[in-house]
Amino acid sequence: MTLHSIPTGNFKLDGGAMFGVVPKSIWNRSNPADENNMCSWAMRCLLIETNNRLILIDNGIGDKQDAKFFSYYYLHGDHSLEKSLKNSGFSPDDITDVFLTHLHFDHCGGSVKYANTEKSKLELSFKNATYWSNAKHWEWATHPNPREKASFIKENIMPIQESGQLKFIDQKTTLIPEMEIIFVDGHTESMMLPLIQYKGKKILFLADLVPSLGHLPIPYVMGYDVRPLETLKEKTLLLDKAAKEDWLLFFEHDSVNECCTVEQTDKGVRKKDLFTLSAYFGA
């Protein structure tokens, strides 16, 4: 098995919204804001290559929405999903499985694309892939609450359902033996975090549980989370385990840091070492 980091580009979100109750005087040190109070975030996906499967975990923001939509998010950087797949030696048609941690637009927007230049028809970006979500989250995303409604965009979601290529995972099933799935409910209903066994280590894909290194302290929870007190419990449980068992933590949204290990300190769980996957495993 080989893991490939797949950067799909950066965007900006309001720093205050990203850090919830934490004051700017504190979060601005780890995540400096621009003149509009926006901070830069990565959309870093992960590709799992096995003998017969090519599993893409999340796929970034995509390119379907209009200029007004993208004007809110200040896309920047040189990376794109297609370019990163190509750099790893693959094309979209090679992907056998698309695993969606959750259906917020910055995680699943690359799932679906326009089929023609007139932008009148949508199709799956990965035509040979099975798309994986879970029943509870699908129901939640397709009947959204008013708070999350703007994050669940119909054109990212409905074509997957209509394609017949959608499958649901439950607590007992997984895609490959090396991947365990952890369900968390604080950020949104039934977000799925892959915990991957790789070269003798465990790697946790953090998605929006801990979006960046600056979010490691337990109370540093995003304002977007629907159940922040659940997030506190889920972070405590998983970060304690990560420190005890020396897991590698993979950040989807940190625009500078790709991975870290953590350790217990008298302040709580904090970073130990910072590195990229390829540097760590010498690929």
- Using Cβ positions, the residue closest to Zn ion within the complex turns out to be 104
Minimum distance from residue 240 beta carbon to Zn ion (Å): 23
Minimum distance from residue 34 beta carbon to Zn ion (Å): 22
Residues facing residue 203 across a β-bridge: 196, 248
Helix H segments across 118-252?
A: 135-142, 154-163, 228-245
With H, G, I as helix, E, B as strand and everything else as coil, classify residue 178.
coil
Nearer to Zn ion, 105 or 126 (CB): 105
Nearer to Zn ion, 79 or 102 (CB): 102
Handedness of CA 205, 206, 212, 213 (dihedral sign): negative
Q: What is the dihedral of CA 211, 155, 142, 94, to 10 degrees?
A: -60
Nearer to Zn ion, 54 or 153 (CB): 153
Q: Which two tokens stand for residue 42?
A: 């990565």
CA distance 19 to 26: 10
Minimum distance from residue 229 beta carbon to Zn ion (Å): 17
Minimum distance from residue 56 beta carbon to Zn ion (Å): 17
Nearer to Zn ion, 159 or 211 (CB): 211
Minimum distance from residue 154 beta carbon to Zn ion (Å): 17
Residue 86 has a CB neighbour count (10 Å cut-off) of: 12
Say if CB 29 and CB 19 are below 8 A apart: no
Which residues of the shown chain bind Zn ion in the complex (CB under 5 A)?
Answer: 104, 208
Q: H or E element: which one contains 111?
A: none
With H, G, I as helix, E, B as strand and everything else as coil, classify residue 44.
strand
Minimum distance from residue 224 beta carbon to Zn ion (Å): 7
User: Measured at the alpha carbon of residue 203, what is the angle toward residues 57 and 7, in degrees to the nearest 5?
Assistant: 40
Nearer to Zn ion, 18 or 54 (CB): 18
Nearer to Zn ion, 54 or 192 (CB): 192
